[in-house]
Every structure is written in C-alpha cells, then in structure tokens.
C-alpha cells in the first residue's frame, strides 16, 4: 500500500478542489491511500478579508515570520508517507503565512524528511518567487521536491487584480458587476487538472520521480510568463524594503503602523496601475536583447531544481 498525504491551506476551498482533482486517479487505486491534512492556525485568518487585515499581514507574510499553529503535535500526520502533495496559496509573492509557519515548525520535520514532495499552487498569477522560497523551506526539511503544478487565473494581470479584490473582500467567486470574468482558477482548469494524476500515479508506483516534472510540463502543468517573472523579481526587491520598514513602526494594531500599511496599499495600487505598464514597455523594448536569458530562466523556473 502506498501512502499519500495532501497537506493544504485554503480559505475559499478552491485549492482543495484543485488538489482533489489532481488526486482523483490516485483515489481510484486500491493500492493507494490518500489522506488530507488542512493546516490550522491558532488565530485563523478571516475570510472574506477586511481591507485593513488584508494589508496588515503583508510585513509578516513577506518576511516569512511564522505564526502559531493550532496544535504543536499533529497525530494524523505522524508516520511515513511515500509522497506528500503540498498545496499552497501565495500571499504577497510569498508562501501564505499558514504554509510558511507549517514548514518552519518542527511539527512537520518527520513528514517531509527524505520524502518526495509535489507542490501544487493555486493563485492569481504571480508565484515564481514564492516557489523559490518554498524550495528553500523544503530543502531545509531535507524533503525531495519532485514536481510542481501551478494553476492560475488566466485573465490579464489588471483584470485579475480587479476580480480577485471582489472575491477576497466579499467572499463571492462571482462576476464583479456582472461584466468582469469570474475570479480565480477557471472551473475547467480545475477539472482538467485530473490529467496530472496518471503521471503522479506512475511515479508513485515505480518509486521513480525522475521523469515526473518533464511529463507534467508536457501536460502544461506550469506556464512561465517572462514578464510576470520580471515584475515578481522587481516587486520582491521593493516589498523587502517596505516590509522591513513597516515592522519597525510598532504594534500590529498600533496607529503608526496602520498609517504605513495604508501608504503601502496606495503604493501597491500605484505600482499595479502606473509602474507595471512602464515595466511592460521596457520589457518589450529590451526583449530582443534578453532572449537567451529569458529562455534560461524559463527552463529553470519550470523545473524543480534549486539554484543554491
């Protein structure tokens, strides 16, 4: 019997839907036992979000400061698994606080050590640098990253910013003003994620994951958009400055910090609506001179290896 554990954190349920679609072939196998474990926090993050709470988690998220888990001992996940599927969301270009906290806690030492791990991402569209951070966290756990599947909102960047705001602040995965497309990962993409299962099953049965990521890539498990990579990298650089500055402004609920959080919110809007179009123009102009670099980066970010 092969044992597979799906570790996940979701607020709307979208990520669990994605994970369950991917594991549907595994669930049908008599020789495979799939169990699910949802990461729970001592102080849960409310969904839908209040605007202030949403931006107030930015510094700790970005600086990857762990928060307390609901329990420091998790009986369900003790024991050895043949494969772990880690399904996570991205918050501010970084693994969400629950996932980061779980990976930084000793509670997850045993489950990851020397274990093959497949990461599954369900986010808006910007996950490249978050996955690099996950690679580092998994490496510290002595886990073996063997696969990655990233499902994103396929609409253009600015449209998905509007639609995800509607979703996050109302909790409704519906068409904003009835004219915008539905937010999040499309239902058809979630349903079709079941196609990845057969490759995972083959690797699991053969206990050989060498060819898994190439097979997943042929099936379109990951699509790298070089412009979004550029934005992700630049934004990481600037977010670092903002996060470090805001944490020096005192208590999480204190007045001075909240003022800086508001400034960050305004900066983010300015960056999305005014700076990113300029970056896009620069990207287009410099494209012919960056083809080789872009090709190399695309290959690296589509893979599961980590540049140390």
Please spell the DSSP secondary structure of 140-207, one letter per residue: HTT-EEEEEEEEE--S-HHHHHHHHHHHHHH---S-GGGTSPPPSS-HHHHHHGGGGHHHHHHHHHHT
Question: For residue 41, how far is the Cα from the chain centroid?
Answer: 17
Cα-based angle 235, 46, 136 (whole degrees, multiple of 5)? 40
Least distance CB 226 / ligand FMN (angstroms): 16
Least distance CB 47 / ligand FMN (angstroms): 7
Contact between 54 and ligand FMN per CB under 6 A: yes
Q: Which residue is nearest to ligand FMN (CB)?
A: 14
**How would you class 254 by CB atoms within 10 Å of its CB: exposed for 0-12, middle for 13-18, buried for 19 or more?**
exposed
Residues 11-30 that bind ligand FMN (CB under 6 A): 11-12, 14-15
CA gap 169, 167 in Å, rounded: 6
CA gap 88, 10 in Å, rounded: 7
Of 185, 188, 220, 196, nearest to 13 by C-alpha is 185
Contact between 89 and ligand FMN per CB under 6 A: yes
- Binding mask of the shown chain, residues 55 to 74, with x at each position contacting ligand FMN by CB under 6 A: --x-----------------
- Binding mask of the shown chain, residues 163 to 202, with x at each position contacting ligand FMN by CB under 6 A: -----x----------------------------------
Sign of CA dihedral 156, 160, 161, 163: positive
- Complex with ligand FMN: residue 126 or 200, whichever CB lies closer: 126
Residues 102-141 that bind ligand FMN (CB under 6 A): 122-127
- Complex with ligand FMN: residue 33 or 65, whichever CB lies closer: 65
- Complex with ligand FMN: residue 124 or 141, whichever CB lies closer: 124
Contact between 10 and ligand FMN per CB under 6 A: yes
Where along the sequence are the contacts to ligand FMN (CB under 6 A)?
A: 10-12, 14-15, 54, 57, 89-93, 122-127, 168
């Amino acid at each position: 019997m092969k044992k597979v554990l799906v570790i996940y954190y979701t607020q709307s349920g979208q990520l669990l839907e994605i994970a369950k679609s991917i594991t549907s072939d595994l669930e049908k196998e008599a020789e495979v036992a799939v169990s699910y474990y949802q990461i729970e926090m001592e102080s849960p993050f409310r969904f839908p979000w209040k605007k202030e709470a949403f931006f107030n988690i930015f510094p700790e998220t970005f600086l990857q400061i762990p928060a307390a888990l609901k329990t420091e001992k998790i009986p369900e996940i003790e024991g050895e698994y043949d494969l772990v599927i880690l399904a996570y969301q991205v918050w501010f270009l970084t693994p969400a606080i629950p996932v980061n906290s779980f990976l930084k806690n000793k509670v997850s030492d045993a489950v990851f050590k020397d274990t093959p791990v497949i990461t599954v991402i369900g986010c808006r569209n910007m996950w490249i640098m978050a996955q690099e951070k996950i690679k580092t966290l998994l490496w510290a756990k002595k886990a073996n990253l063997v696969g990655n599947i990233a499902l994103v909102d396929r609409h253009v960047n600015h449209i998905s910013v509007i639609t995800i705001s509607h979703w996050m602040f109302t909790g409704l995965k519906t068409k904003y003003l009835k004219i915008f497309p539905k937010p999040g990962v499309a239902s058809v993409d979630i349903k079709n994620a079941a196609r990845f299962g057969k490759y995972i099953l083959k690797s699991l049965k053969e206990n050989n994951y060498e060819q898994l990521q190439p097979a997943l890539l042929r099936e379109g498990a990951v699509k790298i958009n070089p412009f979004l990579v550029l934005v992700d990298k630049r934004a990481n650089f600037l977010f670092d400055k903002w996060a470090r500055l805001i944490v020096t402004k005192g208590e999480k609920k204190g007045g001075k910090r909240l003022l800086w959080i508001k400034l960050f919110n305004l900066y983010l809007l300015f960056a999305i609506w005014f700076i990113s179009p300029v970056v896009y123009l620069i990207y287009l102009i410099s494209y012919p001179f960056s083809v080789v670099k872009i090709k190399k980066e695309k290959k690296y970010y589509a893979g599961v290896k980590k540049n140390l």
